[in-house]
Amino acid sequence: MTIPFEHLKREWMKDPAFKDAYDALAPEFEIAAELVKARARAGLSQAEVASRMGTTQSVIARLESGRTLPSTKTLLRFAEATGSRVHVSLAAA
């Protein structure tokens, strides 16, 4: 029997230490989600984006997983490869 991830996440989020660690990763998850959306919007595979950026598919996979936080230069190259633009915004807490 497989337990749906959302069910597990709800349970884990009841633990304050887990919730704090999860919340601390929110910016990385948000960046990763935006990269995936930009690539999908462009109709490109990870390999195609990698080729346009002069890197490998595994680098793109790491960026899109949130395991690697991209530099500004990398974000700009990713944006160019997907026909996107980078927009930075700081919101009030």
Q: How far apart are CA 4 and CA 7, in angstroms?
A: 5
Are 69 and 31 in contact, with CB atoms under 8 Å apart? yes
Q: How far apart are CA 38 and CA 44, in angstroms?
A: 9
Q: Give me the pLDDT at residue 25, please.
A: 86
Answer yes or no: is 1 within a domain: no
Q: Give me the pLDDT at residue 27, please.
A: 87
Answer yes or no: is 28 within a domain: yes
Q: How far apart are CA 14 and CA 64, in angstroms?
A: 27
Q: Give me the pLDDT at residue 68, please.
A: 83
Q: Give me the pLDDT at residue 1, please.
A: 67
Residue 63 belongs to domain spanning: 24-82
* HSE-CB of 21 using CA atoms within 13 angstroms: 8
Q: In the chain, how many domains are there?
A: 1
Answer yes or no: is 7 within a domain: no
Answer yes or no: is 57 within a domain: yes
Answer yes or no: is 61 within a domain: yes
Q: How many residues does the chain have?
A: 93
pTM across the whole model = 0.80
Could you read off the pLDDT tens digit of each residue along the chain, which spans 93 residues? 688 888 998 999 999 999 998 888 888 899 999 999 999 999 999 999 999 999 999 999 999 998 888 999 999 999 999 999 999 999 898
Token pair, residue 10, equals: 């709800």
CATH of the domain at 45: 1.10.260.40
Answer yes or no: is 76 within a domain: yes
